[in-house]
Structure 1
Amino acid sequence: MWTILLVEDEVFVREAIREILDWERHGFCVVGEAGNGNEAFAAIVELKPDVVIADIVMPGMDGIELLKETRKAGIRSRFIMLTAMSHFDYARDAIQYGAFNYLLKLSLDDDILLESLARIKEELLAELKGAGEALFPFYHRIWADIREQGAAAQADSSGQASAIEKFRHLNLDIVAILSGDVPAHADQAGIGMERYLLVQSFYDAGQTTFFCWSFRGHTASDSRIRAKRHVESADGGSLARLSQDWLQVLQRLNYDWYGSESDLTIAEKSVATPIEELEAELIRCFEERNESKCGLAAKQIWECMKASSFTHVEVKKRATYLLHMLTMLAGQKTGDWTELYSAVSHESLLEHVQQAIRELIRQKREEQVSYTDHPEVNRVIQYMLEHYRESIKVADLASLVAINVDYLSTVFGKKTGLTPIAYLRNIRMEQAKRLLLHSKLSVEEIASQTGFSDDAYFIKVFKRHVGKTPSSFRRENNM
């Protein structure tokens, strides 16, 4: 509720003003009273009321001086000044120094007072909405932390600091809905706008979050919204708890994301998670261009994320990473995977990823690359590209195309400028570089993935070929 301080040296007048209205019914609360200007100023500094109803003529510090000192202190309380018939000069000065209105004591009634209070309430709400805009950079930083993007905290501007202070004393309900590729409206989340002072919406990663502000102690939460699909809420929070409450809402959306009624909570994910092994298996199947095995490996990754209760944001980040990695391994320009974030269920995102993998494999199969003008050499190159992870000897390549080993080495050198072994080594090094840049596999795993049984020998060959060790290459070219 908007707060009011009553300042009047005559006790019976102060009591009459206090009893003239049912303050709470009109959205106000009398938080204090004072009998003179000095007491009033101390109360204003402590309470920072939204409205001060003060007599102009008082012993000691009068109403005009009280208004001046309040403004000097940087406090923006609205002043309604009370005056008698003979004090219009004082009233004029009050208006000059920023009083909202002045009212005659003798003609004061509830209608006259309510008219001024209604106008003040409109101003206060408009000011609150304006201040609310300054909170959006704050929301973005909290969201970046939740998404683990590592956004650096920025110094608050004076406007943002002022807004944070203003909202710190309000009650916050957070409501989130899986809205797909477009932001949701408040009514889709079951939010009654009339129940709150201010409702702000924030859209990202296929989720619309609503910040619903009300007065502390007068929560406007409606528990019925929990029955709506894709909607979850955290009620009765505050700006200080924004990060925890927002994450809690994100976790509760797991029930709808996974389509499961089981007890889904965010689990602690250790370094030894099997997802890394499953990703390596997916890479192996992709290099073999085996659609069915790729589909199965992707499904196992999805099951692992569900078992670990990944939030929908974490799942979408993992999906984006996987498709980016496979696209790079396919030697193609990475695509725009932002549409993945519009998914509203675990299964639908898996289907999207499996379809994208099938399309990448299809494109690779349909590529008609003419490596040289010699068909046998081209066949050998194609075999190398498909089997570079295996142990390959020149004799095996010669048998593949049914020609003499020496002749193959000679014609291969003429057509490519390299020996078959050197050409194979280049393929392996290029694949190793891609894995170092676009996967989380260890150096030992990458050595195995690229046809080296001895990781020490792999590091030696890589350093001779690239000029730096695999670890240095990954660190200096971190993407």
Structure 2
Amino acid sequence: MWTVLLVEDEVFVRRKVRETMPWKEMGFTIIGEAGNGLEAMEKIRECQPDVVITDIVMPLMNGVDLLKQARKEGFTSRFVMLTVMSDFENVQQALEFGASSYMLKLYMDQETLAETMSKVEKELIDRRSAEIREAEALLYKLWKLMPGGAESPEIKGSELEVPGVHGRSLSIIAVQHGQPTYTRDDFFALRVIDNDVASAAVWHLLTMDGVSYLFMWLPTNSQFNIFAEKALPYSLIYTELISAAHLMDTWKSIQIKLNLEWYNPTFRAKLCTSAGTPLRETADTWGLEHEIWHNLEQLRWDAVVGAVNELWGKFEVQQAPQLQVKQAAARIAHLCARISQLNTVDEEAILASDHHRLKLVFMARLETHFKHLSASRIPISDHPEVNKIISYLHEHYVEEITLDTLAKLVCMDDKYVSGLFKKKLGVSIIQYLHQIRIEHAQRLLRETDRTISEIGERVGFANDNYFIKIFKRSTGGTPASFRNRT
């Protein structure tokens, strides 16, 4: 909703303008009136209206001088001048200083006013779109400075002025949603802020790595309230209104508070009141990162899980910046994709709204690579139905598997299936199944402290004695002796 200030010393003219149009239906709301230029200038400073409809001839300060003063102070409100037939010299001067249009008081009616406001609205939309693009480009440039907190020699002085928000106060609202994209409508759907406040604000939005920063610029002396008691699907940090000069320091404070929520999410809106301890990256994570992808390459899943648990614990103890955690996850997943040659799964970023959820997403990604890599190393025959049985054995080796189950799987006679399998692979189905189970048992003996009984059960053997018997037949030694040698 665009805001309008009416400036006219004749009350009946103001009333005519106010009552002529269905303002709200047209997307405008009248936020104030003034009877002279000086009073109008105070209201411009206070309310920052989008449009000023002003008479030219007024006491104390005329409309042209009002326009000049507003431009001198940096306000970009669109001006519509009200005039009489004989005042074209002042009209010309107003247009030279950037007035959008003018209307003759005598001939002003609903049609001419609607036509004028339609033109002004197009100007407002074009200007606002350009200012938002410029502002968000600047904010992105500033965001890149956040992790290290260093000042950029390329951004100084007037370059820090955000376009289109002159004279407004700022609140930064950080939303830790964990999604690659986010919109203002997504934020408004949370219903944590009053609609009137949202309409009065100029908004900028920057989404990076699953976190969105909303910059809400309100007119000076405004107030707002966020409903902090409301349960949310993710954490949200916000600030009180500040001046634009404190944007950088406040943004850094927001990131520090956001990082605390990353490790201990409350799923509420929380006010950021102080800076806190600066963020510091966790050192020496390369060893654990290498351990994760190396063990995945060797198909040692339990070792992968152990290394991830250790890395995630290290991040949490040291409260590492969430960006570092996300970058590490992306780096490891990229290497695992190269190992498994399953690249399509990594087209989407690894994101989540908190440390624990990111670990779940990350582990799911690694498991996908692990399964694909495991499947790629399965022997393949020249017979499609035998290959189907091979895949089934690798996926279900822990379960009880019968010849009848496999025959039904490929819609063949059980005796024919048994003979065909041995012909193609040189071993019987039960020998091949035992081979799979023993390979997994060897991995668990190397990489875990589970008991031999637990391992036998975990890989599909019904009792200890049978497990030990098959293990010895396959490897030449018992599970215990195998463990002692490794």
TM-score of the two chains, using structure 2 as the length reference: 0.51
1:224 aligns with 2:198: no
Superposed CA deviations along residues 408-457 of structure 1, whole A, max 9, x for unmatched, are xxxxxxxxxxxxxxxxxxxxxxxxxxxxxxxxxxxxxxxxxxxxxxxxxx
Offset of residue 187 of structure 1? 2.9
Offset of residue 178 of structure 1? 0.6
Segment drifting more, 211-220 vs 94-103: 94-103
The 5-angstrom pairing of residues 7-406 of structure 1 reads 26-28=30-32, 34=38, 51=52, 53=54, 55-56=56-57, 78-79=78-79, 87-88=86-87, 93=92, 97=96, 99=99, 100-101=101-102, 127-146=127-146, 164=163, 166-167=165-166, 169-184=168-183, 185-190=186-191, 191-196=193-198, 197-224=201-228, 227-235=231-239, 236-254=241-259, 257-260=262-265, 273=283, 275-279=285-289, 281-282=291-292, 285-286=295-296, 289-326=299-336, 330=339, 337=346, 339-361=348-370, 363=373, 366-367=376-377
The alignment covers a number of residue pairs equal to: 353
Distance 1:29 1:57 in 2: 14
Distance 1:58 1:31 in 2: 8
Distance 1:246 1:73 in 2: 27
Secondary structure of residue in 2 paired with 1:171: strand
Secondary structure of residue in 2 paired with 1:135: helix
Indicate the residue corresponding to 2:446 in structure 1.
none
CA 1:94/1:30 → structure 2, altered by over 3 Å: closer, same or farther?
A: same
CA 1:286/1:26 → structure 2, altered by over 3 Å: closer, same or farther?
A: same
CA 1:323/1:86 → structure 2, altered by over 3 Å: closer, same or farther?
A: closer
Superposed CA deviations along residues 195-243 of structure 1, whole A, max 9, x for unmatched, are 2333343333223333323212203332337642314132324544444
Secondary structure of residue in 1 paired with 2:311: helix
CA RMSD of aligned residues (A): 6.0
Indicate the residue corresponding to 1:386 in structure 2.
none
CA 1:325/1:80 → structure 2, altered by over 3 Å: closer, same or farther?
A: closer
Segment drifting more, 136-145 vs 260-269: 260-269
- State the one-letter code of the partner of 1:307: V
- State the one-letter code of the partner of 1:229: P
CA 1:149/1:316 → structure 2, altered by over 3 Å: closer, same or farther?
A: farther
CA 1:271/1:302 → structure 2, altered by over 3 Å: closer, same or farther?
A: closer
CA 1:151/1:292 → structure 2, altered by over 3 Å: closer, same or farther?
A: farther
8 Å Cα contact 1:173-1:212 kept in structure 2: yes
Unaligned runs of 5+ in 2: 19-28, 380-486
TM-score of the two chains, using structure 1 as the length reference: 0.52
Offset of residue 313 of structure 1? 3.0
CA 1:341/1:332 → structure 2, altered by over 3 Å: closer, same or farther?
A: closer
- State the one-letter code of the partner of 1:195: V
Offset of residue 297 of structure 1? 1.3
Distance 2:254 2:88 in 1: 57
Offset of residue 28 of structure 1? 4.0
Indicate the residue corresponding to 1:434 in structure 2.
none
Distance 2:326 2:220 in 1: 36
8 Å Cα contact 1:226-1:233 kept in structure 2: no
8 Å Cα contact 1:214-1:220 kept in structure 2: no
Segment drifting more, 261-270 vs 337-346: 261-270
CA 1:165/1:69 → structure 2, altered by over 3 Å: closer, same or farther?
A: closer
- State the one-letter code of the partner of 1:292: D
8 Å Cα contact 1:266-1:311 kept in structure 2: no
Distance 1:74 1:260 in 2: 42
Distance 1:226 1:238 in 2: 27
Offset of residue 302 of structure 1? 0.8
Distance 1:195 1:53 in 2: 26
8 Å Cα contact 1:179-1:342 kept in structure 2: yes
- State the one-letter code of the partner of 2:213: T
- State the one-letter code of the partner of 2:163: I
Distance 1:271 1:252 in 2: 16
Indicate the residue corresponding to 1:454 in structure 2.
none
Offset of residue 294 of structure 1? 1.8
8 Å Cα contact 1:171-1:217 kept in structure 2: no
Superposed CA deviations along residues 322-353 of structure 1, whole A, max 9, x for unmatched, are 2334556x496877635343323433332343
Superposed CA deviations along residues 55-77 of structure 1, whole A, max 9, x for unmatched, are 43889x98668868988999756
Superposed CA deviations along residues 391-423 of structure 1, whole A, max 9, x for unmatched, are xxxxxxxxxxxxxxxxxxxxxxxxxxxxxxxxx
Distance 1:273 1:291 in 2: 25
Superposed CA deviations along residues 32-55 of structure 1, whole A, max 9, x for unmatched, are 9559xxxx99xx99x999748464
CA 1:34/1:168 → structure 2, altered by over 3 Å: closer, same or farther?
A: closer
Unaligned runs of 5+ in 1: 370-479
- State the one-letter code of the partner of 2:312: W
8 Å Cα contact 1:177-1:189 kept in structure 2: no
CA 1:335/1:129 → structure 2, altered by over 3 Å: closer, same or farther?
A: closer
Superposed CA deviations along residues 220-268 of structure 1, whole A, max 9, x for unmatched, are 3323376423141323245444444444444444566445569999765
Secondary structure of residue in 1 paired with 2:165: helix
